[in-house]
């Protein structure tokens, strides 16, 4: 990490020493419980600190990666070179009349609970989604016939020129697991969700029902990143995988879940390579059997081998 000494000193001037770590295992920060070390792991406390970290990184030609809750992510065994910007201290959520305003590091489920407490309906689908608000907007997260595009009004972002700007729903270009955030490299700082007044008990019953269904149908007892594959148009990834006879298939500690074949799980101390090899095998078999190409919903980042990367 000698090449980063001067850079780290610059970061410390912005963040303070307590908000910067080096050589941090990403295994401890992802829901899949895999991943090698991040060279630099910083935790900004304000929007301006995020912007400064990005500015310094760009000026020094050092790559940076925006990190939320790590719940839709596979970090490869070689880890992440450069800077990981951990947003989890930017986690405030508030309710103003019929709007929920949430910082990007807040859990999406916390925003849904805030909506419930304000008797606002529309975010029930989000209650069981484990990701952060920033990640949810980036991927236009959704479940049970609901998705972010249905409830978001605007987002505060750092754009590709390094400016903090507010963009409306249309400018977010939200589509199935895609957004302007991904397309143009924006960084989400905050989101405003516009909802409708509803009945507290009705909203809570809906949220409780969706959580019950999740527990019954999804392998929540094992580390995973949720649904591994995107839904092919007009089809269901889980059904294609199950009909291909792949349920329960293992490579090392990775397994296609017996409970829900749309999930690849870390059954027993899997490595990222084992998970990725199993993903590739599933894709190959489904392509051969049904001529359907499954693409991953989970994001894959990092280096295959730490020693080669350094």
Q: What does pTM read for this prediction? A: 0.93
**Helix/strand/coil for 82:** strand
Residue 310 is predicted with a pLDDT of 52
Q: Is 274 a catalytic residue?
A: no
The per-residue pLDDT for range 203-237, each reduced to its tens digit, is 999 999 999 999 999 999 999 999 999 999 999 99
CA-based angle 93:97:103, to the nearest 5? 20
Q: Does the structure show a pLDDT above 80 at 309?
A: no
For residue 138, give the H/E element and its range: helix 133-138
Q: Which domains occur in the chain, in start order?
A: 2-86 (3.30.43.10), 93-198 (3.30.465.10), 218-301 (3.90.78.10)
Q: Are 154 and 169 in contact (CB under 8 A)?
A: yes
Of the residues 51, 177, 179, 255, which is catalytic? 177
177 is catalytic: yes
pLDDT tens column, 42-100: 999 999 999 999 999 999 999 999 999 999 999 999 999 999 999 999 999 999 999 99
Question: Cα(71)–Cα(267) distance, rounded to whole angstroms?
Answer: 16
DSSP state of 128: T
pLDDT for 135 beyond 70: yes
Q: Where does the pLDDT of residue 307 fall: very low under 50, low under 70, confident under 90, or very high at 90 and above?
A: low
Under the banding of pLDDT at 50, 70 and 90, the label for residue 125 is: very high
Catalytic-role residue among 57, 132, 227, 261: 227
Mean pLDDT value across the chain:
95
The active-site residue out of 49, 255, 274, 297 is: 297
CA distances, 104 to each of 47, 94, 135, 225 (Å): 10, 13, 8, 19
Residue 154 has what pLDDT?
98
For the four alpha carbons of 95, 99, 103 and 109, in that order, the dihedral sign comes to: positive
Residue 21 has pLDDT above 90, yes or no: yes
How far apart (Å, rounded) are the C-alpha atoms in residues 31 and 295? 20
CB 135 within 8 A of CB 229: no
């Amino acid at each position: 990490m000698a090449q980063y000494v001067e850079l780290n000193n610059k970061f410390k001037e912005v963040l303070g020493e307590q908000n910067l770590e080096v050589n941090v295992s990403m295994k401890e920060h992802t829901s899949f419980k895999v991943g090698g070390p991040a060279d630099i792991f910083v935790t900004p406390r304000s929007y301006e600190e995020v912007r400064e970290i990005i500015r310094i990184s760009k000026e020094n030609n050092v790559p940076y990666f925006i990190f939320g809750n790590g719940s839709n992510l596979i970090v490869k065994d070689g880890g992440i070179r450069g800077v990981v910007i951990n947003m989890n201290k930017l986690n405030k959520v508030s309710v103003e009349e019929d709007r929920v305003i949430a910082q990007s590091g807040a859990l999406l489920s916390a925003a849904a609970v805030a909506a419930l407490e304000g008797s606002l309906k529309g975010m029930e689908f989000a209650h069981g989604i484990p990701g952060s608000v920033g990640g949810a907007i980036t991927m236009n997260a959704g479940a049970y016939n609901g998705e972010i595009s249905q409830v978001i009004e605007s987002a505060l972002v750092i754009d590709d020129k390094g400016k903090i700007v507010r963009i409306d729903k249309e400018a977010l270009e939200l589509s199935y697991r895609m957004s302007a955030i991904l397309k143009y490299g924006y960084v989400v700082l905050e989101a405003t969700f516009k909802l409708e007044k509803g009945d507290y008990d009705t909203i809570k019953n809906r949220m409780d029902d969706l959580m019950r269904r999740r527990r019954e149908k999804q392998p929540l007892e094992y580390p995973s990143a949720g649904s591994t594959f995107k839904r092919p148009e007009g089809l269901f990834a889980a059904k294609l995988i199950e009909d291909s006879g792949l349920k329960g298939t293992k490579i090392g500690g990775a397994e296609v879940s017996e409970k829900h074949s749309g999930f690849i799980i870390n059954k027993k101390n899997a490595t990222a390579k084992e998970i990725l090899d199993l993903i590739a095998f599933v894709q190959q078999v489904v392509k051969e059997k049904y001529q359907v190409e499954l693409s991953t919903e989970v994001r894959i980042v990092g280096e295959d081998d730490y020693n080669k990367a350094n």
